[in-house]
Amino acid sequence: MAGRESALYDETLLPLDGPEPGRRYAQVIVDVPAKQTNRPFDYIVPPELEAWVGVGSRVGVPFGPRTLQGFVVGLSESTGMDPRKLKPIEQVLDLVPPLNPELVDLARWMSRTYVCHEITALQAMIPGALKAKYEKYVAVAEEADGHSAPPPEGQALLLAGSPEEDEITAFVRQKGTVPMDAMLRRFPAAGPLLKRMLERGVLVEVQTVKDRLNAKKVLYVEPAADPRTLTEESGKLAAGAKRQKELLLHFAAHPSPVPLAELTDKLNVGAGTVKALADKGWLTIREREVFRDPYAGRSFARTEPLPLTEQQRGAFAAISDALGAERHDVFLLHGVTGSGKTEVYLQSIQQCLDQGREAIVLVPEISLTPQMVERFKSRFGDAVAVMHSRLSQGERYDEWRKIGLKRVSVVIGARSAVFAPFTKLGLIIIDEEHESSYKQEESPKYHAREVAVQRAARHGAVVVLGSATPSLESFARTSGRGAPYRLLTMADRVEGRPLPAVRIVDLREELKAGNRSMFSRGLYKAIEERLHKKEQTVLLLNRRGYSTFVMCRSCGYVVQCPHCDISLTYHQVSRTMRCHYCGLTQPEPKTCPSCDSEHIRFFGTGTQRVEEELGKLFPGIRVIRMDVDTTSEKGAHERLLTKFRNKQGDVLLGTQMVAKGLDFPDVTLVGVIAADTVLHLPDFRAAEKTFQLLTQVAGRAGRHRLPGEVFIQTYTPDHYSIEHASRHDYGAFIATELDSRRQRGYPPYCELVLVTFSHEQVAMVVRAAESFATRLKEKWQRMRTEFDSVSGAGAEDRYFEVYGPVASPIPRIKDRYRFQCMVKYRGDVDVSGMLTETAAAFDETVRQEKLHISIDVNPQVLM
């Protein structure tokens, strides 16, 4: 156990800036996400806490009848309130404030931009372990106050309670304070009685804010006397106490603290021996906080910067220049797969660190593989903290603390790492910037790319957005007058390796030729060849499960989820039908649930079915399947990839998670089973996503010595996204797609906001959605008249339109009906403000009728 912890947490914690003026009152955002509480409340900072309270501190404050968690967003010498009415802050929850003034300000920007409560934005910035948790205790009244509670007038006699009541009082008095749930466990039938006792004031309820988790503590042993005394004492020990003597001499020679576990391991002494010496007063056993280090015990061979190619040098020079000048610049680094973007990142980070500033690297969750982490750890060593969802809550918390304690200066992580509480930020890198996982789908529905640019601007820091297939939004920002981003291009793979040859297979032709299998003849032969040559294959199918839907061929009935308007997917392994939206699982039907016919059939192909088919076609083939179902366990993702890397698998078959960033030397074949799955989704980005997916997965082949080959199977071989992907022609794709977006009026030619309404009753949701749309349009009409009267510049570029409401593409999820409105706008329009105000009118309906309104600014998914 002891080996898992590394760096000791024995920072000497000093109070913030010491007593200074302007800390008398604190403005606090409390943990109540509601419109009416979405503003700071003033509190007195008690003198004894003054030194520990800063902007960004997490505090416990009394709010109405209870105690809540809150964040300090301001400190001041005066207050607009009557100071006598203010309550004091009860507790400061962290020794080091988890946020800082810049992040607090960023949270305000987020709440305005993404239309969410400020507390929601603040909560998103801290690790889950610090989310508020409240505990209710009961205590006997006079003990809680420290003085006797006055008996209510004329009821003194009644207060001499029933026997049950006396029993309860005695129990609580003996324990001091008792958690409410423990009370109910001890006295299961006493609920109403407890309530009465609380009402009468015999008992009082105390609520406190608790951390969900505490720093990990380990027992350490240290000497309690100076070495000379220890040596002397060791001589006085009984002759038989050899172990004790050894121990004392050890500490006489090495007086530094040692983990108890290490002591018992290495010096081969029992814990009892240590305890005995502690009891005698020569040693002290103390709890100390340690970091849980998920990468402890692994060594990373130090790497040196590699020589750069000419293209890499060009890109690095531009970044380096901006870094040197501490100028806020955003670069879009467009580098084909295998062009060596990572090395450019690494050297840019190095320069940033040399300048004494800090760097954040964002990567999509899925490509945060050990391989990736290793590249950074081996260049920057202990200066790197890693944050991703596969870490335990505790591990995550500890990585986070390293940032606040200035133990690290580089953070590599998924989306939320953009909030790493650095104070001297110099560089933010977003790898695979086109990835949709940078958008958070829950409130606050922020995009890490937008937040990164915002943060960097505040720090005068550089942003590097890297991708082989940049998003249209980012690309569009690199051209034209006053373009906010600068484009850096790396068009060739390192060492002149060629991009793999891509073949498009028309599945309609296969069918005509009588091939009804899911593998075209070409792909079949190619796989067979790889098995022969002992080379490896990656197969992509963007659909998990076994089949996508189950239909009765007699009556046409399709098995659907009873709670969502979506067909259920059949999972072969568990022989169950599952809803991919609400998680419902039910047994497979033997006969048609509607007409009882036995002609029930599975349609559509999922990864499980491909796996089965591969086994039939190539007996003995070793398939590693990677999808949500096989990677849900902690570490499973990593394990499967390692297995493939060690060549314990011939084929890596998976959903889009096999397309991203993987780099295996022996992969020479990539097959896309069905390229059209994404293309026909009801999403204006369908073509873009298809192009990106195909380009990315094709990039997995032939990255090393052996040349690669790619097969793309499709029913629409002429579609431009497929054609251009096959020729690795980003420029041509972008031109066509931009044109199409302009014609259809979609980003980057306008901005979008998706407003989704959901409720258990259709009538309610329709009414709310329509009324919302009407109000929003009216608001725009009023604003436009104002604009016209001022006739300011840019008026002609201003555009605003509300579309819908219409039923959502999935009209019902978890028994709630869903309708949506789409706002399209362009130019200087405060749409977020308009939406905030419009939504405010529905506040009561939201509260009372359980209507949900979701506002998604720049949505990535239109479902």
Partner DNA sequence: AGCACGCCGACT
Partner DNA sequence: GTCGGCGTGCTC
Q: Which is nearer to DNA, 82 or 796 (CB)?
A: 82
Asked whether position 201 contacts DNA by CB under 7 A, the answer is: no
Asked whether position 66 contacts DNA by CB under 7 A, the answer is: yes
Asked whether position 162 contacts DNA by CB under 7 A, the answer is: no
Asked whether position 208 contacts DNA by CB under 7 A, the answer is: no
Q: Which is nearer to DNA, 485 or 842 (CB)?
A: 842
- Name the 3-class secondary structure at 134: strand
DSSP letter at 128 equals G
Q: Which stretch binds DNA (CB under 7 A): 278-286, 619-627, 762-770, 841-849?
A: 841-849
How far apart CA 183 and CA 138 sit, in angstroms, is 8
How far apart CA 767 and CA 776 sit, in angstroms, is 14
How far apart CA 516 and CA 171 sit, in angstroms, is 75
Number of residues in the chain: 863
Distances (CA, A) of 485 to 330, 449, 452, 464: 5, 12, 13, 10
Query: Smallest distance from the beta carbon of 89 to DNA, in angstroms?
Result: 9
For 737, counting Cβ atoms within 10 Å of its Cβ (0-12 exposed, 13-18 middle, 19+ buried), the class is buried
Asked whether position 74 contacts DNA by CB under 7 A, the answer is: no
Asked whether position 149 contacts DNA by CB under 7 A, the answer is: no
Query: Smallest distance from the beta carbon of 574 to DNA, in angstroms?
Result: 37
For DNA, the binding residue among 279, 778, 844, 849 (CB under 7 A) is 844
For DNA, the binding residue among 86, 276, 531, 636 (CB under 7 A) is 86
Q: Which is nearer to DNA, 32 or 237 (CB)?
A: 32
- φ, ψ of residue 734 in degrees (nearest 5): -55, -45
For DNA, the binding residue among 847, 849, 852, 861 (CB under 7 A) is 847
DSSP E strands, 640-697? 651-654, 667-672
Q: Which is nearer to DNA, 31 or 723 (CB)?
A: 31
For DNA, the binding residue among 9, 23, 29, 43 (CB under 7 A) is 43
* Alpha-carbon 65 to chain mean position: 34
Contact 559, 550 (CB under 8 A): yes
For DNA, the binding residue among 2, 7, 8, 32 (CB under 7 A) is 32
Query: Smallest distance from the beta carbon of 21 to DNA, in angstroms?
Result: 20
Q: Which is nearer to DNA, 36 or 632 (CB)?
A: 36
For DNA, the binding residue among 37, 436, 560, 845 (CB under 7 A) is 37
Q: Which stretch binds DNA (CB under 7 A): 84-92, 566-574, 689-697, 797-805?
A: 84-92
For 69, counting Cβ atoms within 10 Å of its Cβ (0-12 exposed, 13-18 middle, 19+ buried), the class is buried
Asked whether position 36 contacts DNA by CB under 7 A, the answer is: yes
Asked whether position 62 contacts DNA by CB under 7 A, the answer is: yes
Q: Interaction with DNA in 109-148: which residues (CB under 7 A)?
A: none
Residues near 17 by beta carbon (within 8 Å), at least 6 away in sequence: 51, 54
Q: Which stretch binds DNA (CB under 7 A): 30-38, 122-130, 557-565, 781-789?
A: 30-38
For DNA, the binding residue among 3, 87, 214, 815 (CB under 7 A) is 87
Q: Interaction with DNA in 559-598: which residues (CB under 7 A)?
A: none
How far apart CA 579 and CA 300 sit, in angstroms, is 43
Q: Which is nearer to DNA, 279 or 843 (CB)?
A: 843
For DNA, the binding residue among 9, 23, 42, 336 (CB under 7 A) is 42
Which spans in 87-136 are helix H? 101-113, 118-124
Q: Which stretch binds DNA (CB under 7 A): 85-93, 167-175, 718-726, 822-830?
A: 85-93
Return the closest-CA partner of residue 753 out of 849, 848, 811, 838: 838
Question: Which tokens go with 339?
Answer: 């062009």
HSE-CB at 110 with a 13 A cutoff on CA atoms is 31
- φ, ψ of residue 717 in degrees (nearest 5): -65, -20
Asked whether position 34 contacts DNA by CB under 7 A, the answer is: yes
Q: Helix 227-236 crosses helix 242-253 at what angle (to 10 degrees)?
A: 170
Question: Which tokens go with 326?
Answer: 């501490």
Question: Which tokens go with 476?
Answer: 């569009």
Q: Which is nearer to DNA, 78 or 585 (CB)?
A: 78
Q: Which is nearer to DNA, 202 or 669 (CB)?
A: 202
Binding residues: 552, 555, 561, 564, 579, 582, 592, 595
Query: Smallest distance from the beta carbon of 763 to DNA, in angstroms?
Result: 18
Question: Which tokens go with 384?
Answer: 């790197």
Binding residues for Zn(2+): 552, 555, 561, 564, 579, 582, 592, 595
Q: Which stretch binds DNA (CB under 7 A): 157-165, 314-322, 439-447, 840-848?
A: 840-848
Q: Which stretch binds DNA (CB under 7 A): 38-46, 210-218, 555-563, 793-801?
A: 38-46
Contact 781, 774 (CB under 8 A): no
The CA-to-CA distance between both ends of the chain, in Å, stands at 47
- Name the 3-class secondary structure at 288: strand
Binding site for DNA (CB under 7 A): 32-34, 36-37, 41-44, 62-66, 81, 85-87, 844, 847-848
